[in-house]
Structure 1
Amino acid sequence: MVKLNNDREYCSLLKKLENAKRVYKSSPEKITGICLELSEYLRNSLLLINESEKRYNEVILWGKEDESCSVDCSLAYRNLAEIAIEKGDFDSAVDKINKSLDFAYTSENPSIIQQSLHQRAHICLSCELPKKALKYAERCRNYLIEHSIEINDQKIDGDSSCRMAQLQNLIAAIYLELHVSDNFHEYDYDKKGLEANEEAMNFATKNNDWALCYRSLLIKLNFTNGKVRQQIAESMCTIASKIVPKNADERRFKKESKCHLALEKFRQMDGETLISAKRLLWRCFEDFEKQPDSISADLASDLKNALIFCK
């Protein structure tokens, strides 16, 4: 709490919220917007997940009975769904994204509806339901195509081309999951996934969307076999250095890219490259021990296994 009291932006937003509660008790839409802004600052800038969760619930408490607050309630539920995924509470995540969609449809706002449809597919993938995720992603794509003009006119959170690229990246990730579980490779999931990923990559490169470019390279790495994987990992390091992080995931990209490169160099198993790879692996692992949240749990496990093999 001392950290919060010393944070100027937090104190400013809290003061605005408390003032709005006093002045606009009968106009909840003037309260929910400020409360949502505070929630997102707590989550994305201060990384205080539990505090942000309380504020997102407060948005819903103030706005759930007023249609003018439907957009704010939809956004609050969408963020709560993401937090539930981070905490491993998959049932809660599914429930919350469905509520986000309900409020999105009430708002009749195509931008918000499309984002909630996208997030529902993403959450199903996170819940290890790739076939359901693909079904929802295709519904999202159909909605995006049908409402592209309205979304472009709204000019909120990216136009339809940007959203389609993000969706293609998600679809590629879904196909990757399906490919991994397709032991006999009967369904060409890899081909479909790489095609979707290429579309996302082309948009990202053309528009200098480095975060999307990094995600696309990571998917390409996971679809690829052989020595070319090291080249992809090197590209990931280059792209990661260009990213200005907007959330916790993107803050990990720079360190994670170095881990991927170390692992790929180690897998080549040849002479001087192997020696430098071992050093790089140890440096990555030492960084991880100092900051356990700096890379994903799966990547940390890969590092540990590689180091065990080194001994």
Structure 2
Amino acid sequence: MTQSFPFSAIVGQDQMKQAMILTAVDPGLGGVLVFGDRGTGKSTAVRALAALLPPITVVAGCPVNSARLEDVPDWAGPVDETLAERPTPVVDLPLGVTEDRVTGALDIERALTRGEKAFEPGLLARANRGYLYIDEVNLLEDHIVDLLLDVAQSGLNAVEREGLSIRHAARFVLVGSGNPEEGELRPQLLDRFGLSVEVRSPDNIEERVEVIRRRHAFETDHDGFMARWQAEDAALRTAILEARTALAGTEPTEEVLTDCARLSMALGADGLRGELTLLRAARAQAAFEDTAITRDHLRSVAPLALSHRLRRDPLDEAGSAARVARVVAETLP
């Protein structure tokens, strides 16, 4: 099977790569929303990051990737209890998907052939402890959006129908991508994403040429290209793992907490989710850099954590990221 394009070899798109790395350091950040032009590497980045991460340890026969035997759900029945390693899951949630396919449902074939009532796990079971990727997330049907909101909040998938009463863990990093010209995202789902990024096609010749050069090498000399980028991906993997360990000891000062609140108030962000996510992202960035949290970290992650939480200002024609940058410069000199 062809390996994913190396994460380190992605040209440009620094904010998108930064957001992906932060969710790898702290999956509790709430996922990433990537909006922008088609063909800018959105799906490539999420698959490349998942391939970059170390495999997860699972109970071999568990349908929801449980790490310990005691976490295997009762409905799974007798399973292979051997511990095994699997690649970090990346599950695509396609447009037009049915609710049964997402949550799981009665296994019809088993019911008809054996007369047994059994549960057939859905996409949420496969995505547990990994990534759930939704392309064109702004075109997703409302009832699927509502379902995802419930599961993302609780980390638990509950199925109550067809005589089934099923529960299983469903904790995943939600990554959505889309083109804003094709429709807006519902505010409830927009707010659920921890970080957001706007991506655009490269606007200079050198960068576009480098994109072409690397993609051509990946397709025509795959083994050689992968070997050239193996060391950089390995170094990034090590840095992410070390950051996960360092995260617990990365604590903010009172000044940092005050800066988070001041910045969110200056931007007029609704609710408190903005400053909570801002702090969490700054902690992950500091852990990744192996330093204490500073204003520089807040400045770095503020556009990612706050740009999608702003109230619309019809008198301000600047984009949300530009508004955040301007307010950051004024509030955190």
When the two structures are superposed, what TM-score results if normalisation uses the length of structure 2?
Answer: 0.26
Q: Which has the higher helix share?
A: 1
Bigger RCO (CA 8 Å, 6+ sep): 2
Q: Which has the higher strand share?
A: 2
